[in-house]
Structure 1
Amino acid sequence: MKHLATFLLAAGALLFAAITVAQAQQTQQDETRLIAKDAYVYAFAPIANYQTWVKQATEPNAPEYVGGFNVFRHYAQTFTPDNKDVVTPNNDTPYSWAWLDLRAEPIVLTVPKVPEDRYYVMQLIDLFTYNFGYVGVRATGFDAGSYMIAGPNWSGEKPEGIKQVIPAETDIVGILGRTSLNGPEDVENVKAIQAQYKLQPLSAFLGKAAAPAAPAIQFPPYDKTKATSHDFIGYINFLLQFAQPTVPAEKDLMERFAKIGIGAGKEWDAKKADPALLAAIDEGVADAQAQMAETAKKTLSSNGLFGTREFMHGDYMTRAMGAEKGLYGNSIEEAWYGGFVGDGAKPSQLHFKAGELPPARFFWSLTLYTLPDRFLFANPINRYSIGDRSKGLVFGADKSLTIYLGHESPGPDKEANWLPTPEGKYSLVARIYGPEPKAIDGSWKLPVLEPSK
């Protein structure tokens, strides 16, 4: 009997130990799943950004290639329905693209003086997709100037001839320039302004010897299957090496992410990972994707999805939604976006009461796109957008403005204000450049689409 009791006690102890181990393993897997979920949401925008810039800056055979790092590629043509290479194109502001490698030394952006009826902006975007700085008529005025963009490891005094030093948290950053275009006849004027946008290494700007070149980089090709699986860890590890030192606000976060293999420049090989760990990461990725899908359904406006790190205040889901809805949106103080879906089979109108036109410091526009492809709509009068720069708009006697939307002409007396639509569903996108405070705070709203009268 004594031996039996001893045996039972030993067996009980072993069972308890086994249960304890199993509980510890389950706890670890649960923690891994939660970390993976948060890490996937965190990494979504930087990886979506990488999908764009790796082609533009490093793949000469890609149609998107801009020429490498530290150079501009300008686009000054007007879009028509024949242009199918980009969705929701606009003819308001042709683009100037550049990607900067700041590892060796800062890059100086020089812009020309422009007349006060010419809008332009240089939006500065870091690897996390934060809008970390602006140069342009709203932010820096209409005069010429040179602005130094410096990486996270640069230190020193502002050099002579530099109006402002704009610090970046990442060694690779993007510039998305936009220059206002006032119709096809204005293309050559836009080209002349774009030709004066200049990028130089700081050493060249100062007339000094060039800094030693930074080490060559092997850029991994973007693979959507990998980017949306546990292999997202390989991409974020690659990108984090360009964001050192880690900003203070994310040190604890990075320590937490390290538990599943995330770290700046750290090797990731799923084949070498513990199967239980990998399974928990996969579950976390699926959780993140499900949560993002639900959040996307509720995210109906792009306003508030883009801005500085301070503006986004650690909300990585909102940052991910910005990348999901469309990368590189302007901060709301630079541009306001809105719109709705309409049906061209039902003639409609958008009525702005007197004093309630889109509150723009610079200009506003309404551009119409087909659905679901979101291209410009081919129509007999070749009108793809309408706005305060449109010639011949007819205002009411009370200074109100009515825009007519429909597949058929609203009649000769209203055709000046007609934006032709397809017979079926369409998307109308409103853009306000230099929005006034009442657009930013939401006290001004886009009118509701109503049946034509």
Structure 2
Amino acid sequence: MNIFSGKGILIISSLWATMLLGTSCSHEPTQAELRDQRLFERAKEAYEFCYPMLANYRTLFTSALDPKRHAAFDPAINQLWISPPDSMWTTPPFLDQNHDTPYSGAWLFLGNEPMVLKLPKMEPNRYFSCQLIDFFTYNFAYLGTRESGNQGGTYLITGPGQSVDDPQNYDRIIRCETLFAFLIIRTEAFSDEDLSRVQTLQSSVELLPYSTFTRSEKPVATRTLLEKVLPYDEKLSQSPAFIRYANAMISWQPIHPDDQPVIDSMAAIGIGPEQPFLLEPDDPDWKTIQLGIDSAMASIREKAALVDQRINGWDIPFSQGPRSNFGKNYLLRSALAYEDLYGTNHQDAMSPTALVDKDGKPLTGRYSYQIVLDSLTTPPVDYFWSISAYRASDGQMEDNPIHRFRISSRDALEPSKDGRIRILLQHATPPPALLQNWLPIPEGSFFITMRLYGPDRPALDGRWQPAPIAKVKPSKTDPNPR
């Protein structure tokens, strides 16, 4: 039995003294043992609460604050980054690679004044979205084709407790409960030939401090968080030293009333706004807190493995969303941050993923497969859908002879005589008659991601089911046909 799942969690809670002290559980626990049990439980609870913030801070530090950050995506805070001109399909290391919507975005610091986001007018048939994520990893707002349309607009993003004197000057005022927010912009590219237009649109987005937009006096900086940023260290974040990060991050925004009880509870292990971290590795409490962290991570991984729904071999992810979607279910929030950090709200886009065929066998380029789309299995969307293949080893796309990385409803797919569309998944180049519907796949193990942009109600309520991936014959590259 996995000691970190189901009844195992209860066992570990009651046997903590045996693990730590080698004592028997047949006697009444001492006051010291009861204290350590409470410490273990508080540490587990605290890590389940803090994990999304730690994951978010890892991205913030490595992408925007670390002097050694990725060369292609190195924006300053409150400055937009866009895809590099010479490689529009380059994907930031913290986002999933796709050939549908080149990324742009920004890290926002709202501690001193609001930020103004100006969006350009776009073609009516071009999908785009602006996803706004707070520091807890809640999706607190969306803009774009579905939410606000393609006509462009001016939007004010405010931090905690901020207000302005000119609300009439904005199409919408968006309030963020945290000082840091992450903006991810996805702009559809119809083809490689359309990439220059996409970059023009990306470059037309403006992000301005409120004082710059209104030509008013710049406020005196009351928040100097960026001057005392803690370097992110993966090992420290998974040890009791995570408390140092937690104490800093909790102080970055007002405590939400829903979170106050867990914040109060975490004080038992030294967590609180701007509290010092004094624990040392040789302190007996270090081991107890580490056990709580390990138990929390086991629970997070177990929950992450259960949140997706498997249908016809496809894993349908759980929808991200605002705080109201989660309530006080911090374990669910952590599981989604672990499984799909910065995942989308399903109303805007959803991404089923398949690692196996309809018989439950792992997908491999040694075989050929097909996906058959008909009136029941064609993805129901308001905008468009796509299907892409990725190497299982590193989650990256693989180049191919025709440089095709997706099949999409934007393509001129050829129906069969029965009216259905058969998408061929194969590593080897097929005969010319099959090229139009061919999605090249890696030679080794791979997985498929289907993206639905603007999914319709049948996809959102579960009535639609994705078509299974069926093996049709051994690939010509298979040296051992079966």
TM-score (norm 2): 0.84
Match status 1:23 vs 2:30? yes
The corresponding residue for 2:277 is 268
The corresponding residue for 1:420 is 440
- Given candidates 87, 108, 112, the residue that maps to 2:116 is 108
| Runs of 5+ unmatched residues, structure 2 | 1-26, 309-314, 356-362, 474-482
* Matched-pair contact (CA < 8 Å) for 2:415–2:422: yes
Match status 1:442 vs 2:449? no
* Matched-pair contact (CA < 8 Å) for 1:88–1:376: no
- Given candidates 357, 361, 365, the residue that maps to 1:344 is 365
1:370-405 CA-to-partner distances (Å, cap 9, x unmatched) read: 121111122212111111112x31023444211011
1:316-367 CA-to-partner distances (Å, cap 9, x unmatched) read: 2222222222321111111111021222212110001135311111111111
- Given candidates 234, 238, 242, the residue that maps to 1:224 is 234
**Range 395-404 or range 83-92, more displaced:** 83-92
Q: Distance in 1 between matches of 2:95 and 2:204?
A: 28
Match status 1:239 vs 2:249? yes
The letter of the residue matching 1:363 is F
The corresponding residue for 2:292 is 284
Match status 1:411 vs 2:421? no
Change (3 A) 1:86 1:34: closer
| Runs of 5+ unmatched residues, structure 1 | 1-19
Aligned residues: 430
1:175-224 CA-to-partner distances (Å, cap 9, x unmatched) read: 01111111111111011111111111112222211111234231111101
* Matched-pair contact (CA < 8 Å) for 2:307–2:318: no
How far 1:94 moved relative to its partner? 0.8
Match status 1:378 vs 2:387? no
* Matched-pair contact (CA < 8 Å) for 2:78–2:108: yes
The letter of the residue matching 1:318 is L
The corresponding residue for 2:257 is 248
Match status 1:161 vs 2:174? no
The corresponding residue for 1:191 is 199
Counterpart of 2:55 in 1: which secondary structure? helix
The corresponding residue for 1:125 is 133
How far 1:298 moved relative to its partner? 3.2
* Matched-pair contact (CA < 8 Å) for 1:158–1:165: no
The corresponding residue for 1:170 is 178
How far 1:279 moved relative to its partner? 2.8
- Given candidates 258, 261, 276, the residue that maps to 2:267 is 258
* Matched-pair contact (CA < 8 Å) for 1:87–1:375: no
- Given candidates 44, 52, 68, the residue that maps to 1:45 is 52
Flag the structure with larger Rg: 1
The letter of the residue matching 1:259 is A
Q: Distance in 2 between matches of 1:320 and 1:357?
A: 32
* Matched-pair contact (CA < 8 Å) for 2:304–2:336: no
Counterpart of 1:37 in 2: which secondary structure? helix
- Given candidates 421, 446, 452, the residue that maps to 1:401 is 421
The letter of the residue matching 1:253 is V
* Matched-pair contact (CA < 8 Å) for 2:132–2:141: yes
Q: Distance in 2 between matches of 1:282 and 1:84?
A: 32
The corresponding residue for 1:210 is 218
The letter of the residue matching 1:232 is F
The letter of the residue matching 2:39 is T
Counterpart of 1:55 in 2: which secondary structure? helix
* Matched-pair contact (CA < 8 Å) for 1:368–1:385: yes
The letter of the residue matching 1:220 is L
Match status 1:432 vs 2:449? no
Match status 1:312 vs 2:326? yes
The corresponding residue for 2:69 is 62
The letter of the residue matching 2:440 is P
Q: Distance in 1 between matches of 2:92 and 2:64?
A: 22
1:136-169 CA-to-partner distances (Å, cap 9, x unmatched) read: 1111111121111111121356523111111111
TM-score (norm 1): 0.89
Q: Distance in 1 between matches of 2:316 and 2:413?
A: 28
